[in-house]
Chains A and B, each alone.
Chain A
Amino acid sequence: MIRSDARTKLTGEAVYGTDLYEESALFGALVPAPVPRGRILEIGLETARRMPGVVVAVGPNELAHLLPKGGGDAERPVFPASRISYRHQPLAAIAAETLAQARAAARSVVVRVKAEPAVGEIDEIFPEWPGSRAKSSPHVVAHVHARGGDLAGAIADADLVHAETYRTNGVSQVAIEPHACLARVENGLWHVRTSTQSPFGTREDTADLLGVPPSRVVVEGTWVGGGFGGKAASFLEPYALVLAAAAGRPVKLSLSYREEFLLGRSTLPSTVRIETAVKGGTITGRRVRLLLDSGASLPGRDFATGYAIGFLLGPYRVGAFEMEGYAVRTNKPPFGPHRAPLAPQCAFVADSHMDSLARRLGVDPVDFRLRHAWREGDRTSLGQKVGPFGLVEALTRARALRDRWRAESPADRGFGVGCGFWSTITGAGGEARLIAASDGVTIVQGEREIGSGSVIGGLVDVAARTLGLPVEAIRVRYESTATAPFDSGVFGSRTVGALGQAVQKGALALLKTLAERTGAPGTVRLRWTNGELAVEGGATATPLARLFTADERRGGGITTGGRHFGRGGAIDESLVIDGSFHGYNDFTATVALTEVRVDRETGQVTPVRVAAFLDVGVALNRPLVDAQVEGGVAMGLGAALTEEGLWGPEGKLANPSLLDYRIPTLAEVPPIHVDAVEGFAGAGPFGAKGVGEPPIIPLPASVANAVADATGARVAEMPLTAERVARALKLL
Chain B
Amino acid sequence: MSDRAPGLTVNGRRRGLDAVPDEERLLDTVRQRFGLTGTKEGCRTGDCGACTVLVDGRTTLSCLTLTREIEGSTVLTIEGVAADRVGRSVQAAFEREGALQCGYCTPGFVVALTGLLKEPSTTDDDQTLLDGLAGNLCRCTGYASIRRAVATAREGRP
Binding site for B on A (CB under 8 A): 1-3, 5-16, 18-19, 21, 174-178, 223-228, 256-257, 450-453, 623-624, 626-627, 630-635, 657-659, 663-667, 669, 671-672
Contact = CB atoms under 8 A, between A and B. Distances in A.
Contacts of B17: none
Given A11-B79, A19-B37, A630 B141 contact: yes
Interface in B83-138: 91, 94-98, 100-107, 110, 130-131, 133-138
Interface of B: 31-32, 35-45, 47-48, 50, 77-79, 81-82, 91, 94-98, 100-107, 110, 130-131, 133-147
Contact of B143 (A1, A177, A634, A658): A634
Given A663-B137, A672-B142, A176 B101 contact: no
Contacts of A626: 144
A664 B94 CA distance: 20
Nearest to B35: A21
Nearest to B95: A6
Nearest to B136: A666
A350 to B, nearest CB: 24
A672 B147 CA distance: 12
A10 B130 contact: no
A666 B130 contact: yes
A178 B42 contact: yes
A551 to B, nearest CB: 38
A90 to B, nearest CB: 20
Per DSSP, chain B at the interface is loop
A631 B139 CA distance: 7
7 contacts: A3-B100, A6-B94, A10-B78, A12-B37, A627-B98, A631-B139, A634-B144
Contacts of B79: 11-12
A178 B102 CA distance: 13
Closest 3 CB pairs of A and B: A12-B38, A2-B98, A634-B142
A18 B98 CA distance: 24
Contact of B137 (A13, A19, A665): A665
A177 B102 CA distance: 9
Given A176-B40, A666-B130, 17 more contacts: A6-B94, A6-B98, A6-B100, A8-B103, A175-B102, A175-B139, A176-B138, A177-B40, A178-B42, A225-B103, A257-B43, A451-B100, A451-B103, A631-B142, A658-B48, A664-B143, A666-B147
Contact of A659 (B47, B103, B146): B47
Contacts of A624: 98
Given A10-B106, A177-B104, A663-B139, A15 B40 contact: no
Contact of B44 (A14, A15, A257, A623): A257
A627 B141 contact: yes
A657 B133 CA distance: 20
B126 to A, nearest CB: 11
Contacts of B104: 16, 175-177, 225-226
A225 B102 contact: yes
A657 B36 CA distance: 26
A266 B3 CA distance: 52
A493 B77 CA distance: 35
